[in-house]
Amino acid sequence: MSQPAVLFEDVSVAIGGVSILESVNASVPHGSATAIIGPNGAGKTTLLLAMLGQLPFDGRIRIARTPKGPARLGYVPQGLDFDRGIPMTVMDLMVIGPQRRPLWAGRSRRQRNLAMTLLGSVKAEPLAGRRLGALSGGELQRVLLALAIQRDPDILVLDEPSSGVDIAGENLLCELLDTLRAERGFTQVMVTHDLSLVTAHATDVICLNRRVMGQGPTEATLTAEVLAATFGIHLGVADLHPLPGCEHDEHGHRPDAHA
């Protein structure tokens, strides 16, 4: 069995004296699409932020090294909180990270071309000239996905990617993630409370409600008992069959995704 991409060992987080996570022990298999699920207030986003190093925590989070060095993380936040009045285009956002030249001195041709390639890979090329504040929820999620893969991440972290996105947008995002994962070979860690997205898209799951209630391959783990323990209600009626077009093989790849 290969080394997990991420290993959480006895991770606990308390904010302002309130315990958010208690001794979380879990692992994210290398190359998997792992979903962290749980009800509101379960500590899903907290675990993600601890993993990203943006929150202090007790315990240990081991992120596997790659042959090239420490693993690179890409991050797609939940419905980006930003000032919608800012006159900033999608292209501006794509180049401010990698471009050294200040934006007021112009955007370099090389960075513009790279940005267009990335936007193309998430079907967002037509959005390049649009203002950030004018994007819909689904469009913004795709732009943030393009931004996250800009650093060619080994691990892609997504916080509630379907939040504020309609059904069509969610299906498109699901397709894009599967295709990108097949092409780029990253491990995907996704926080969500959307069980239909999990059953359609995730190969593995970590059920969280302050503590780990269950973990492992999606279909084997999402039993009525585990769901009841995680969400506190009986969810045995959940349809665990993947949505048409989002099935995965035993390696977690969609049959039609590009190899």
Partner 1 sequence: MPDLAPLYDLAARLLPFEAMQARFMQQALVELILLAPMCAMMGVHVVSFRMAFFSDAISHSAFTGVALGLLIGADARLTMVGFALAVGLAIMAVSRRTLLSIDTVIGVFFSAVIAFGLAVVSRDRSVARNLQMFLYGDILTIGEAEIRLTAVLFVALMAFQTIGFNRLLYVGVNPSLAAAHRVPTRTYQYLFAALLSLVVIVSVWAVGVFLVTAMLIVPAASARNLARSASGMFWWALVVSVTSAVTGLLVSAQSWAGTATGATIVLCASVWFAGSAIVGGLRQGARR
| Chain residues in the site for partner 1 (CB under 8 A) | 15-16, 49, 52, 54, 73-75, 77, 80-83, 85-89, 91-93, 95-97, 99-100, 102-107, 131-132, 144, 147, 150-151, 157
Give residues with Cβ within 8 angstroms of 198, minimum separation 6. 35, 37, 192, 205, 218, 222
CA nearest 191: which of 79, 55, 109, 95?
A: 79
Of the two residues 62 and 101, which places its CB atom closer to partner 1 in the complex? 101
> How many residues appear in the chain?
259
Distance of alpha carbon 152 from alpha carbon 38, whole angstroms:
29
Of the two residues 86 and 167, which places its CB atom closer to partner 1 in the complex? 86
Of the two residues 83 and 239, which places its CB atom closer to partner 1 in the complex? 83
Cβ 75 to partner 1 shortest distance, Å: 4
Q: How far is CA 61 from the centre of its chain?
A: 17
Of the two residues 142 and 248, which places its CB atom closer to partner 1 in the complex? 142
Of the two residues 133 and 236, which places its CB atom closer to partner 1 in the complex? 133
Cβ 147 to partner 1 shortest distance, Å: 8
Cβ 154 to partner 1 shortest distance, Å: 14
Cβ 84 to partner 1 shortest distance, Å: 11
| Beta strand residue intervals within 50-168, DSSP E | 58-63, 73-76, 155-159
Give 192's strand partners: 37
Is the separation of the CB atoms in 213 and 229 below 8 Å?
A: yes
CA nearest 95: which of 122, 129, 121, 123?
A: 129
Residue with tokens 């879990």: 26
Residue with tokens 């783990």: 221
Cβ 157 to partner 1 shortest distance, Å: 8
Give 6's strand partners: 28, 63
SS3 10: strand
Residue with tokens 């069959």: 241
Cβ 107 to partner 1 shortest distance, Å: 8
Rg of the chain in Å (alpha carbons):
19
Cβ 238 to partner 1 shortest distance, Å: 31
Of the two residues 155 and 226, which places its CB atom closer to partner 1 in the complex? 155
Of the two residues 150 and 179, which places its CB atom closer to partner 1 in the complex? 150
